[in-house]
Structure 1
Amino acid sequence: MSKNETKKMFNAELTDSFDGIVDISKGSLQTLTDTDENMYLSFYTDSLLWSCGYNNPTINRDINAMVKDYQRENKPVDLASLLSDLDAQLKPHLPKKLAVTYFSSENPYPRLLKALSSKRGKTEFLCLEKLPGLFPEEFAGQIYSFEELIADDPKVNIDGIKNTVFPELKTIKLILKKHRSALAGCIINPIITSDASIAKKDLLEPVLDLLAKFNIPIIWDDSTAGFYRTGPIFSYKLYDIQPDVLVYNGSLYNHRSVHFVSMTKRINKLFAIQESRVVLEDVPNYIMLKVVLGFMESSNLSKKIQALGTRFQGKLRALEANCGRKFSIKGKGLILFIDFKKESVADSFVQFMKEKGILVKKFAAVPQFVMIYPPLIITEKNIDEIVENFKRFFNQPA
């Protein structure tokens, strides 16, 4: 990358928006500013860069320092060295058996699923939920949820199953036993979209144990719950599990994204081309990822987020009890789902909070819920402020 190319890529102003309300280029850490210069405390962010705070001066400084080094040397970025550094940053946080990590400019699922389904006779994949747009279209006919396989099995009465994401273990065992010869892997995302929740340990771990027993590779998708959002850097650590593959498909900011997949040596042998695939235009993304990872590690986020999450949920659960269960809470760390029972109440809450200078967002998949997904640098003071406004919304003493 030449000096001019690098400068062009990094001089672009960061201009994303929050539902058309604010200009993130004017943001500062936990706060955002609209065109009328009104400031808002943000409790929702949808990208990895903003998870560290809007226009975080430490991150901006470190990115600029790396860019200036490249400009000063006036030579192309050593991509192999950059990706090797990233691999070294990630490795201590991954299961030891995940020995190989590939970075990519594109969604790694097509490459991964093609490699796994290359094993003779194993062409199908399981998932907890099959959601539109989540998986590559070319594999749509090969990926099934438990619900789909149960509905297609004459031995199982689906009408008698209350939880089709986590049916009874005897039903799961029946399905796995029937399809094991065709299953190339099971994709696990701990965010249960249909229920607006994070999978409970007592429900997910028995499923993971059965998958291991039937020797079905576990593909852990941490695109939403990863990078300290639930406390540990990767959410598989919440469960007694060591996945065979870990996938991250995430927005870095605006139109920029980062992708990587880590796997065992055994699975790596199935890959026709054993190398990362990052194009020149995406080099800045991985420079930023390196800086973001460094910031997260130096900030001791894991303990902070667990403590903040416990404080946040404790205060909200106390309020839940005091106001007659008008809402309920699910979640872990700094991913919380607030169930207002009715979409109209969720709408009123979002508007009320905006008027109080706080930005929250409805959970699009289940619109009676509001999703709390703030920058990871929020403080106890920020939590106390939103809790006080929860009380005002429900006419409780502040």
Structure 2
Amino acid sequence: MIGAEKIIEKKKEYLFPSSQGNHFYKNPPQIVKGDMQYLYDDKDNKYIDFFAGVSVMNCGHCNKEIVEASINQMRTLQHTTILYLTEPMVNLAEKLATVLPGDLRRSFFCCTGSEANEGAMLLARLYTGKNEFIALNNGLHGRTYLTMSATAIPMWRADQDLSASIHFAKNIINEKLNIDEAAKESLRSIEKIINTRGAENIAALIAEPIQGNGGIITPPLWYFKELKSILEKNKILLIIDEVQTGFARTGKMFAIENYDVVPDIITVAKALGNGMPISAFCTNDEIAKAFTKPSASTLGGNPVSSATAIAVLDYIEQNQLCKKAEELGIILKGKLENLKNKHNIIKDVRGIGLMLGAELVKENGEPASEETDIILEKLKDRGLIVGKNGLGRNVLAFQPPLVITEENIETLITNLDQVLDQVLDQVK
């Protein structure tokens, strides 16, 4: 093992500048091993992982049952092309159809969330014959041209010449309004875009049910029903991006199910492969009919990824991870809210299930971005990995493997409470 410093040197030498500074810590560890909810560095330090590789490792790191399924498939057939007949992909599509919301049952497999969202937007154009889209402020949908165009977080918009076919509406965050009023303002903003651009030009609206990178922005439970009604009236499709929220994270298989809405198209990735690259965009029979020209993803739905994903879905079901995420999420959220009542730096605690965020602000109301970094560093030194997100990078992100325990949560809260005391004392 070469150690953290040597890794950083090689990143500087061989990777693009965009990749060189992408680590949370001033003193980042070299992670060398994972075991369910735990990570280990090259010095054999143990960490409880409360970020899960950004909502990827829902079933835990190196989960033996899932790894075994991957290895067994590797021993027999790794790859051909979907132009040849193999069984794992169609078995995965069949199984996925049993857990997708409502009448969604057709899947197109690819490798990344960006690719899935790009495909979903293409499908919406093909089905509607319309060209434009609505996206929400604070959203993140990918790194391809069209998905980056639909991304409203400045740090992820690397291209200065993006598509003009995307129109951004307000999301539910408004400093002057409560959440319900802000949500109503968001819907009015969407209606204004429809009226201005013309419903005959807009193919779809794309949204995350909970905006992860945007700061765990969580709409009220009535929001998506009202939104779907507006879109249906104007014959505009609803694309729900479940890349970060899917597969039991919020206590439901898909986060949109918390809102009792069936989207027209749904995209999935990340946790479907539990570390193995796989994604999909999924829809109903009627919309799927629009995609008729030959298309394929060379590695999408390959036998190994498909076998892994089937094992993931089996593990979620057999171990009741939806129920576990719901129950542990209530416990974790309650304890974070207790910390909010104690520490003024915590402005808000939000999210559903085990997708939770704690927004940190200074006394003057500005984002506590520097303090967030200090807190992450101190927690890391205590053996706890926590994420961060939000436009100001001031939201502590709690998105752990769904196999964590109540004891893990208690360890997190005890240490976070102590770290917050230390940081606030330093600020004073």
Q: Same fold (TM over 0.5)?
A: yes
1:312 deviates by 0.7
User: SS of the residue aligned with 1:321?
Assistant: helix
Q: Which residue is equivalent to 2:38?
A: 31
Question: Structure 1 pair 61/48, CA: closer, same or farther in 2 (3 Å)?
Answer: farther
**Structure-to-structure mapping, 1:231-310, within 5 angstroms:** 231-250=251-270, 252=273, 257-273=277-293, 277-279=297-299, 282-310=302-330
> Counterpart of 2:378?
352
Measure how far apart 1:105 and its partner are: 4.0
In structure 1, distance between residues paired with 2:346 and 2:24? 27
**Does structure 1 conserve the Cα–Cα contact (< 8 Å) formed by 2:99 and 2:253?**
yes
The equivalent of 2:164 in structure 1 is: 141
Cα drift, residue 43 of structure 1: 0.9
Partner residue of 1:188?
207
Matched, 1:43 2:53: no
Q: Which of 101, 109, 131 matches 1:103?
A: 109
Q: Partner letter of residue 176 of structure 1?
A: I
Measured against aligned partners, the alpha-carbon deviations of 1:43-94 in whole angstroms (never above 9, x if no partner) come to: 11226663221222232233334444x27xx997985421111112211211
CA distance in 2, matches of 1:308, 1:132: 27
Indicate whether 1:172 and 2:190 are aligned.
yes
The gaps in structure 2 that reach 5 residues or longer are 1-22, 150-162, 362-367, 423-428
Partner of 1:390: 416
Q: CA deviation at 1:132?
A: 7.0
Q: Is the 8 A contact 1:190 1:198 kept in 2?
A: yes
Structure 2 residue matching 1:246: 3-state secondary structure: strand
In structure 2, the residue matched to 1:380 is: 406
Farther off after superposition, 51-60 or 112-121: 112-121
Show CA shifts across 1:369-391 (max 9, x none): 11111111100110011111122
Deviations 1:137-186 (A, max 9, x none): 157222221259xxxxxxxxx9x999888625444334324421111111
Aligned identity (percent) is: 23
Shift of 1:195: 4.8
1:50 counterpart SS class? coil
Query: Which residue, 95, 117, 124 being the options, matches 2:132?
Result: 124
Structure-2 separation of matches of 1:395 and 1:279: 49
- Give the residue type in structure 1 aligned to 2:292: A
The residue number in structure 2 matching 1:11 is none
Name the CA shift for 1:64/1:25 in 2 (closer, same or farther; >3 Å). Answer: farther
Q: Is 1:343 aligned with 2:351?
A: no
Relative distance call for 1:246 and 1:310 in structure 2 (3 A) is: same
Task: Give the TM-score of the pair, scaled to structure 1.
Answer: 0.80
**How far 1:27 sits from its partner (Å)?**
1.9
| Count of residue correspondences | 367
**CA RMSD, 1 decimal:** 3.4
Residue 314 (str. 1) matches residue 321 (str. 2): no
Letter in 2 for 1:36: K
Provide Cα deviations, 1:198-240, integer angstroms capped at 9, x if missing partner: 2222334322221122221111110011111111111110112
